[in-house]
A and B are shown apart, each in its own frame.
Chain A
């Protein structure tokens, strides 16, 4: 049985045509939108003797626009028509509500079915039902109160644009369009979610993005069959290549400049109405280790920062595991003085290193979770409790050793240096199995764990692109932007994995030596 609106069995409603009779249409509409107090019905006379009904949902339309561009012209026309009627009987022709000269709104469409009408009303259009016609006019007056463009909270930069995406998809696409003034920037529209009818826009630059990937992603998007899409996460999980991989295969961002840069590297972006997060794919592991500011600051500091990130990525993943392995199996590996100070600190600790580390890491994760969920005003209490109880009291009470606290805090700081939060989550999760392995098999266990991770990561793909692209498979020119960030004038090519056919970003290497100084 065909599922109709609201999931109720209403087999024909979607395709059922409207009546010609206004009264029965009104009754039907009021039946469908029963108990919907935000619906506004306004009976009006469109022309002398011609009645109509204006229907819209309050709050999701711009009332001023409706007032100025729809109601006023109709009423003015009506008045002049009525005046003219007293002198001229043939004036009713002027009052054709279809007449484009009367209504000064740009987006006007027609619907003939109930399905079309309902979709229109719910997608912020005002519907005008005219007596005696089975066609209904939909005027797009989308609007209503939404958050303005603000600085993105999750990705702040020191140097770089301050604009961030909002919850309105059109604002978001516009923010990218401002930056990419080319007709090759395509914005393919989808409506996903049977009940949320969420606008989704797939955006890419024609000629840069791999057409195969675009065809593939379009198909995957069309195949989505779900009742609601509220956030980019829904789509991410529904379309990714390897749903059981802990590694993120899409990137999300709040920054229009990031999206633009990625589009120019041949990736595609998915805008979703109702969320400021835009999905970007295909991505590589290396891409997730890059921040937008890497490209805005000069390359010296960028390289330095990038190495720090890689270093701390390995800290975040391995440090607790290494500590466990070294203190429970390989005391011989440490310098004598270090092993003695660790031994001195651990002398009175009742737990084995693994238990101690697990305890601390889990409470640290809990602390972080509590910090995120709590209202900001209470958050301070949590950090004081965390710092005092876990940091100091536990050490003084001899429950936890001081080196362990150092390890946990180092790990915590390290996981915050990863620029993409979704990759940071993966690293945070993976360090627990590594800790267990280290506790069971020592360094040997860590090596087993690392091997497993490497095997997984090298066979992982994001929309057909190998996750480790650049290193494995190896592309020479891509290495200008993986472990190092070459100066811009050296990066003449786009990444090989994303834009295979159109790789040239610059014609030649330019660097800034002035002509007059050449030869010096």
Chain B
């Protein structure tokens, strides 16, 4: 028995002698909620948004916290430059009393200028150190990225959290670091990232100017370099064609060009079917979408098969026009395969792909695109005729 006790005591010693291993209390950690990467000459500028738990309303910690953020903000921003991303982060660490933890980074913003020079080399440290979660969502900013980190986000505790929510809602499969790396490394597809910027939220001329963070388009990459961006009305249809839009909405003119009808597609998929004759590639895109009418401010009723079929026809035309014009832009202006036509071919016709692989950049602009739509407008809503109008002449009667 004595020997057992002695052995047990000796065996327990190493536990206590290790001195609590790599203990770091939660109050010794500075949580980086978001970060921004910019280029400054030859240097990387890293800007971190660091949470101030003291400002988050914990009991007994009123008035604590501090930092450069000041005021009542629950975060503060720190920015440093360095030869590499890691070095600039280390510079920030040097001026911070707590250990920086990147595991809770909600979003990673990359400045437009930085992205134009290539994002591939910066990616290494994200994968090398597992503490850098690959689940951070990535976006390209119009202008320097650090400006967005300090933009107003009244709904959330942190602007980075707001950006994350925006990005997560924007696509079916959010653009995380993991997805980005995946696309960067696969062949036959050029990556595209959400393009965010600050837009005014108040009419012009009002004194108190409110700026809101907003997704304004898609940043297009060739390889790891940003080559352009898509903005404007075609973006939502382009994302739908990329099979990425969760609930795209389309607006079409009413019959006779009076008023507008909004349709929301709650269920949509796009399938690419390549038809290849030698170097002549035709990509058939089957758009299948189910939707409902959200708003009808024309003066006509939409009930009745004829009206609906008519509407579906017009919507279909709108989609085809919109997508085709976007794709034309991709093919001719930017020459980027953001739709992943190459990947589709590599997956469904690997033999043809092996033949075309090396010439794909040349072949891509000549790919013919044919769009087939299969639309179902299933729900015209709770009211038949526009409800705010007294008398509507029903053309169906």
Chain A interface residues toward B at CB < 8 A: 327-329, 331-332, 336, 339-349, 352-353, 395-398, 401-402, 436-437, 439-442, 445
5 further A-B contacts with Cβ under 8 Å, apart from A348-B54, A348-B58, are A329-B22, A331-B31, A332-B131, A344-B54, A440-B16
Q: Which of B101-109, B224-232, B299-307 contacts A (4 or more CB under 8 A)?
A: B101-109
For the complex of A and B, the 7 pairs showing the least CB-CB separation, nearest first, are A398-B60, A344-B58, A332-B103, A344-B56, A343-B53, A347-B61, A348-B61
For B106, list chain A residues within 8 Å (CB): 336
26 residue pairs from A and B, CB less than 8 Å apart? A328-B23, A328-B24, A328-B26, A329-B22, A329-B24, A331-B104, A332-B131, A332-B133, A336-B161, A339-B26, A339-B31, A340-B31, A344-B57, A345-B59, A346-B53, A347-B58, A347-B65, A349-B60, A396-B60, A398-B59, A401-B58, A440-B16, A440-B20, A441-B15, A441-B18, A442-B21
Q: A332 to B101, Cβ gap below 8 A?
A: yes
When the two chains form the complex, which single residue of A395, A401, A439 contacts B20, counting CB atoms closer than 8 Å? A439
For B57, list chain A residues within 8 Å (CB): 344
Q: B56 to A441, Cβ gap below 8 A?
A: no
Residue B33 interfacial (CB < 8 Å):
yes
Q: B56 to A396, Cβ gap below 8 A?
A: no
Q: How far is the CA of A441 from the CA of B101 in the complex (A)?
A: 19
Q: How far is the CA of A493 from the CA of B84 in the complex (A)?
A: 70
Residue B287 interfacial (CB < 8 Å):
no
Q: A327 to B26, Cβ gap below 8 A?
A: yes
Q: A331 to B21, Cβ gap below 8 A?
A: no
With A437-B15, A440-B18, A440-B21 already in contact, the answer to whether A346 and B58 are too (CB < 8 A) is: yes
Residue B25 interfacial (CB < 8 Å):
yes
When the two chains form the complex, which single residue of A328, A397, A436 contacts B25, counting CB atoms closer than 8 Å? A328
Closest chain A residue, CB of each to CB of B27: A346
For A348, list chain B residues within 8 Å (CB): 54, 58-61, 64
Q: A340 to B56, Cβ gap below 8 A?
A: yes
Residue B29 interfacial (CB < 8 Å):
yes
For B22, list chain A residues within 8 Å (CB): 329
For A441, list chain B residues within 8 Å (CB): 15, 18, 21
A278 CB to nearest chain B CB (Å): 32
Interface centre among A328, A353, A402 (most CB of B within 10 A): A328
Q: Quick one: CB contact mask for B234-265 with A, threshold 8 Å, 1 for yes? A: 00000000000000000000000000000000
Q: B60 to A395, Cβ gap below 8 A?
A: yes
Interface centre among B18, B21, B60 (most CB of A within 10 A): B60
Residue B163 interfacial (CB < 8 Å):
no
Closest chain A residue, CB of each to CB of B133: A332
Q: How far is the CA of A352 from the CA of B21 in the complex (A)?
A: 14
Residue B51 interfacial (CB < 8 Å):
yes
Q: How far is the CA of A328 from the CA of B25 in the complex (A)?
A: 4
Q: Quick one: CB contact mask for B47-79 with A, threshold 8 Å, 1 for yes? A: 000010110111111001100000000000000
A453 CB to nearest chain B CB (Å): 15
Q: How many residues of B contact A (CB 8 A)?
A: 33
Q: How far is the CA of A401 from the CA of B26 in the complex (A)?
A: 12
A456 CB to nearest chain B CB (Å): 13
With A328-B26, A398-B61, A440-B16 already in contact, the answer to whether A347 and B21 are too (CB < 8 A) is: no
B106 CB to nearest chain A CB (Å): 6
For A344, list chain B residues within 8 Å (CB): 53-54, 56-58, 61
B121 CB to nearest chain A CB (Å): 25
Q: B15 to A332, Cβ gap below 8 A?
A: no
A399 CB to nearest chain B CB (Å): 9
For A342, list chain B residues within 8 Å (CB): 26
Q: How far is the CA of A345 from the CA of B18 in the complex (A)?
A: 28
For A331, list chain B residues within 8 Å (CB): 24, 26, 29, 31, 101, 103-104
Closest chain A residue, CB of each to CB of B102: A332
Interface centre among B26, B57, B59, B106 (most CB of A within 10 A): B26
When the two chains form the complex, which single residue of B15, B58, B104, B133 contacts A440, counting CB atoms closer than 8 Å? B15
For B64, list chain A residues within 8 Å (CB): 347-348
Q: B21 to A340, Cβ gap below 8 A?
A: no
Q: How far is the CA of A333 from the CA of B20 in the complex (A)?
A: 19
B361 CB to nearest chain A CB (Å): 40
Interface centre among B27, B29, B61 (most CB of A within 10 A): B27
Q: How far is the CA of A346 from the CA of B60 in the complex (A)?
A: 9
B56 CB to nearest chain A CB (Å): 4
Closest chain A residue, CB of each to CB of B164: A336
Q: B59 to A341, Cβ gap below 8 A?
A: no
A397 CB to nearest chain B CB (Å): 7
Q: How far is the CA of A257 from the CA of B25 in the complex (A)?
A: 52
Q: How far is the CA of A349 from the CA of B53 in the complex (A)?
A: 12
Q: How far is the CA of A339 from the CA of B51 in the complex (A)?
A: 11
Closest chain B residue, CB of each to CB of A335: B104
B319 CB to nearest chain A CB (Å): 38
For B21, list chain A residues within 8 Å (CB): 329, 440-442
B177 CB to nearest chain A CB (Å): 15
Closest chain B residue, CB of each to CB of A336: B104
Closest chain A residue, CB of each to CB of B55: A344
Q: A343 to B101, Cβ gap below 8 A?
A: no
Q: How far is the CA of A349 from the CA of B104 in the complex (A)?
A: 22
Q: How far is the CA of A342 from the CA of B22 in the complex (A)?
A: 20
For A353, list chain B residues within 8 Å (CB): 25-26
With A343-B51, A347-B53 already in contact, the answer to whether A396 and B26 are too (CB < 8 A) is: no
Q: A397 to B26, Cβ gap below 8 A?
A: no
Q: How far is the CA of A332 from the CA of B21 in the complex (A)?
A: 17
For B60, list chain A residues within 8 Å (CB): 347-349, 395-398
Q: How far is the CA of A327 from the CA of B57 in the complex (A)?
A: 18
Interface centre among A347, A402, A445 (most CB of B within 10 A): A347
With A329-B21, A437-B15, A441-B18 already in contact, the answer to whether A343 and B27 are too (CB < 8 A) is: yes
Q: How far is the CA of A439 from the CA of B53 in the complex (A)?
A: 23
Q: How far is the CA of A439 from the CA of B23 in the complex (A)?
A: 8
For A440, list chain B residues within 8 Å (CB): 15-16, 18, 20-21
Q: How far is the CA of A328 from the CA of B22 in the complex (A)?
A: 9
For B54, list chain A residues within 8 Å (CB): 344, 347-348
Q: A329 to B23, Cβ gap below 8 A?
A: yes
For A445, list chain B residues within 8 Å (CB): 15
For B18, list chain A residues within 8 Å (CB): 440-441
